[in-house]
């Protein structure tokens, strides 16, 4: 698709003028982005997406439970095996054009070992997890999906707390493959070595605790 867009531009006699306009727009956007960094408030969940500042509304209890249970599983397993760093909610990742605060993300030890205690901006993770809501679903399946894919984030999970389902995507060459979409059974991570859990443990406290005890 990107090649098709470039081909259409290059077939225009004023292609150089079009590119100059794009460059000017992106320069102005980058200035707004730098101002965004300076004005971020610690208590806000906020993102910079295609030049726009997106402020998130409060989450439901259902979303919060799924996020907390999954973070518990990932942080305990990763910590026990010294695999890397698990971030939750307020970790801001900076990609080429956009800045996101995923619900959960994971960085392998090779990448996270260089992080500092006062660091506030982070590179592309190895795994990103988004917890769906009515207000975020379009972005989670749209611009974020494409951006995570183009920045070669190896694994992407989309969690639907209302229907208690997990979608697992794995990067193959330059595109995400849908590995599974299910509310039942176990699944294993490609990025986190040896991490295999029941899908139910993301949504059910008792199943979550049984899983943790089995690590």
Render pLDDT for 86-134 as a digit per residue (tens, 0 to 9): 999 889 999 999 999 999 999 999 999 999 999 999 999 999 999 999 9
Low-confidence stretches of the chain (pLDDT < 50) are: none
For residue 13, the enclosing domain spans 2-39
Residues 60 and 29 in one domain: no
Instruction: Determine, yes or no, domain membership for 46.
Output: no
Contact yes or no for 168/195 (Cβ under 8 A): no
Instruction: Determine, yes or no, domain membership for 47.
Output: no
Residues 32 and 104 in one domain: no
CA torsion through residues 47, 98, 120, 161, sign: positive
Instruction: Determine, yes or no, domain membership for 48.
Output: no
Residues 70 and 176 in one domain: yes
Residues 31 and 123 in one domain: no
Check residue 1 and give its pLDDT. Answer: 52
Instruction: Determine, yes or no, domain membership for 45.
Output: no
Q: Between helices 61-81 and 205-213, what is the axis angle to 10°? A: 0
Instruction: Determine, yes or no, domain membership for 50.
Output: no
Burial 138-148 (b: 16+ CB within 10 A, else e): ebbeeebbebb
Check residue 45 and give its pLDDT. Answer: 87
Global pTM reads 0.88
Residues 122 and 78 in one domain: yes
Q: Name the DSSP class of 59.
A: P
Check residue 118 and give its pLDDT. Answer: 93
Instruction: Determine, yes or no, domain membership for 100.
Output: yes
Domain count, the chain: 2
The CATH number of the domain where 140 resides is what? Answer: 3.90.1570.10
Check residue 18 and give its pLDDT. Answer: 76
């Amino acid at each position: 698709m990107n090649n098709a867009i470039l081909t259409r531009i290059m077939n225009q006699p004023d292609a150089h003028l079009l590119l100059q306009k794009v460059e000017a727009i992106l320069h102005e956007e980058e200035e707004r982005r730098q101002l965004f960094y300076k004005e971020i408030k610690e208590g806000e969940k906020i993102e910079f997406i295609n030049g726009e500042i997106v402020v998130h509304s409060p989450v439901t209890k259902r979303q919060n439970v799924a996020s907390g249970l999954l973070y518990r599983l990932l942080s305990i397993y990763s910590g026990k095996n010294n695999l890397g760093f698990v971030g939750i909610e307020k970790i801001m990742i900076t990609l080429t054009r956009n800045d996101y605060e995923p619900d959960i993300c994971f960085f392998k030890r090779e990448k996270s070992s260089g992080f500092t205690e006062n660091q506030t901006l982070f590179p592309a993770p190895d795994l990103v997890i988004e917890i769906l809501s009515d207000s975020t679903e379009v972005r989670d399946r749209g611009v974020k999906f494409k951006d995570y894919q183009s920045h070669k984030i190896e694994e992407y999970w989309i969690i639907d707390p209302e229907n208690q389902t997990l979608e697992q995507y794995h990067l193959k060459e330059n595109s995400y493959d849908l590995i599974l979409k299910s509310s039942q059974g176990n699944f294993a991570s490609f990025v986190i070595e040896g991490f295999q859990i029941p899908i139910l443990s993301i949504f059910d406290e008792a199943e979550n605790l049984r899983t943790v005890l089995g690590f």
